[in-house]
Amino acid sequence: MSRILVVGSTALDSVETPSGKADNALGGSAFYFSAAASLLSPVSLVGVIGGDFPDEEIQFLRERGVDMAGLEVVADGKTFRWGGRYHENMNDRDTLFTELNVFEQFKPVIPAEQQDSELLFLANIQPDLQLSVLDQMSGPRLVITDTMNLWIDIALEGLKKVIARTDILIVNDEESRMITGEGNSLRGARALQAMGPKVVIVKKGEHGALMVGGEGELFSVPAYPLEQVVDPTGAGDSFAGGFVGSLARDGAQDWTALRRAMTWGSAMASYCVQGFSVRALRDLDQQKALARYEDFRRLAGIPEPRR
Amino acid sequence: MSRILVVGSTALDSVETPSGKADNALGGSAFYFSAAASLLSPVSLVGVIGGDFPDEEIQFLRERGVDMAGLEVVADGKTFRWGGRYHENMNDRDTLFTELNVFEQFKPVIPAEQQDSELLFLANIQPDLQLSVLDQMSGPRLVITDTMNLWIDIALEGLKKVIARTDILIVNDEESRMITGEGNSLRGARALQAMGPKVVIVKKGEHGALMVGGEGELFSVPAYPLEQVVDPTGAGDSFAGGFVGSLARDGAQDWTALRRAMTWGSAMASYCVQGFSVRALRDLDQQKALARYEDFRRLAGIPEPRR
């Protein structure tokens, strides 16, 4: 078992979808990631919240062994808040408000005992902050990076520096196209590999995800077919949580471990979207999660050919 | 091994894509289907061509054992011709011309010795013609049906009658949405099952395909990641060819046989789009096809979980 450090956003979200709404619910890339990863492996989290943060919201993460020594509390500040409304198709959304609050001045400080973590997940935050985290780390480690369209638009040079220091890059198909100019997933992934990462994962939402490794290493995992998506927020972060959590649990990074991790990522994402905020992940246990993993094996299992 | 009968369009296509162009090349749903299915099983084809048809174009199908006794030749007529141009993204296309010619008066006549074929593939043609084929058949058989957006727009009532008499329906995600009003693939497939078919396959182009059967029967196969698509024409018909060809070869229709068939469908479609017209399928042999099937098993194979 390897140790995971995640650095990312920690927020309170207010979300409306065709299925309903949730106000001031747990959100942010690092919380979603931790909710998923902690089902598979211990996690240490670095982020920032305000004095207004309802501590009971993260009690379940503590119970799952998430180390929050690196979660800075600005007593006289307000927690980062985001509000959004999803369209009927669940793929498009409008941002209703963004209040950065304490996140605006966030300077991640990695506790000394986390600086040699074997697995570092750079969740979606400003690329310069991701770089400052990399600079605080010591020893060999596997760096897994996520980002978003905003940073590609306004901080591409910084993002490219992060990508150059990344081992496994997780993007969605639109982000890949924005960075590389390639509409073809495979060519896009190859172009991203040329920027540094040995492995590139292209997420395709309801269409699953593709992982591209070395020569001849291609792996595709479907999304779990769901009759209803309640709230897509955090699906990507939950995917990353399942992915990195599985690598940590395996303590290995070979192609088999990577394919297993992709499946755990998809399983966690499929649970995430079945409830608002982190609720479905909070209610999940190892046994139910394993059952979903086995569902994926049935869903994607190709029989031997007749010869 | 079961016997396959396919009834569909038989055409000469002129296609332009970002990769180049082909003029008056073999096209039409029944020819694409046969080019793929004949690699796995004998096929009998029913269609119509004009006296202008270059017979050498289908010599390779004869060599693969395709029975063309039901291919009507209207000596003083012209073959159905279609011309199209694909956009840069390869998903959208403009129809440049459609000359129905002998296809306008096509009344499929099923030769007596084919009327009891165990597997009937109703390729994409006018629903009333599909119904007339069903009325000519005798004995128990498995009916697999394809269609297109045009018939959903202008002949939905006839199409619904065909669907009611169909065992396995193959549609793409857009067609499913048009027929059922459901944007969600799984709910769309369930709504289509309520119209008759026991099994519904929803094709998603570059995102693979989903098969929905009975309780707990879900199967997802990815599309093969290709760096270049030369010509997407006929991918759906080739998918159907691999699918039905595999069912015929297995002589079985259980869930394992259906999953194997989905994989053969995807393998054939992935070859189809690597060349203009049926060229890549024509150049394919059983050994190369089997290698692609094995590529799919590597691409989609999920390792056992660690417990």
pLDDT for A56-106, tens place per residue? 999 999 999 999 999 999 999 999 999 999 998 887 899 999 999 999 999
The reply to whether B305 falls in a domain is: no
CA distance B231 to A267: 34
* Model confidence pLDDT, tens digit, residues A274-296: 999 999 999 999 999 999 999 99
The predicted model scores a pTM of: 0.95
Strands in B28-153 per DSSP E? 43-50, 67-74, 80-86, 93-99, 119-122, 142-146
How sure is the predictor about A220, in pLDDT bands with cuts at 50, 70 and 90?
very high
Q: Do B300 and A186 touch (CB under 8 A)?
A: no
Q: Do B303 and A210 touch (CB under 8 A)?
A: no
The reply to whether A288 falls in a domain is: yes
Q: Is B296 on the interface with A (CB under 8 A)?
A: yes
Distance from CA of B221 to the nearest CA of A (A): 6
The CATH number assigned to the domain holding A64 equals 3.40.1190.20
Q: What is the pLDDT of residue B91?
A: 79
How sure is the predictor about A2, in pLDDT bands with cuts at 50, 70 and 90?
confident
* Model confidence pLDDT, tens digit, residues B84-112: 999 988 878 999 999 999 999 999 999 99
For residue A179, report the phi and psi dihedrals to the nearest 5 degrees. -75, -45
The rounded mean pLDDT for chain B is 96
In the predicted structure, residue B1 carries a pLDDT above the cut 80: no
State which residue of chain B sits closest to A211, comparing Cα positions. B299
Sheet order of strands, B199-203 included: B67-74, B43-50, B4-7, B119-122, B142-146, B168-172, B199-203, B209-212, B218-221
When scoring B302, B304, B306, B307 by the number of chain A Cβ atoms within 10 A, the one with the most, hence best to mutate, is B302
The reply to whether B23 falls in a domain is: yes
Q: Do A186 and B225 touch (CB under 8 A)?
A: yes
Q: Is A214 on the interface with B (CB under 8 A)?
A: no
The reply to whether A305 falls in a domain is: no
The reply to whether B73 falls in a domain is: yes
Residue among B88, B190, B305 minimizing CB distance to A260: B305
How many domains does chain A fold into? 1
How sure is the predictor about B139, in pLDDT bands with cuts at 50, 70 and 90?
confident
| Domain region containing B274 | 4-300
ipTM over 0.90: yes
Distance from CA of A193 to the nearest CA of B (A): 15
The reply to whether B8 falls in a domain is: yes
Q: Where are the alpha helices (DSSP H) in chain A?
A: 29-37, 59-63, 127-136, 149-154, 156-164, 173-180, 185-193, 235-250, 255-272, 279-282, 286-300
State which residue of chain B sits closest to A183, comparing Cα positions. B89
Residues in chain B: 307
The reply to whether B188 falls in a domain is: yes
Q: Is A250 on the interface with B (CB under 8 A)?
A: yes
Q: Is B214 on the interface with A (CB under 8 A)?
A: no
The reply to whether A184 falls in a domain is: yes
When scoring A200, A220, A229, A254 by the number of chain B Cβ atoms within 10 A, the one with the most, hence best to mutate, is A220
Classified as helix, coil or strand, A287 is helix
How sure is the predictor about A45, in pLDDT bands with cuts at 50, 70 and 90?
very high
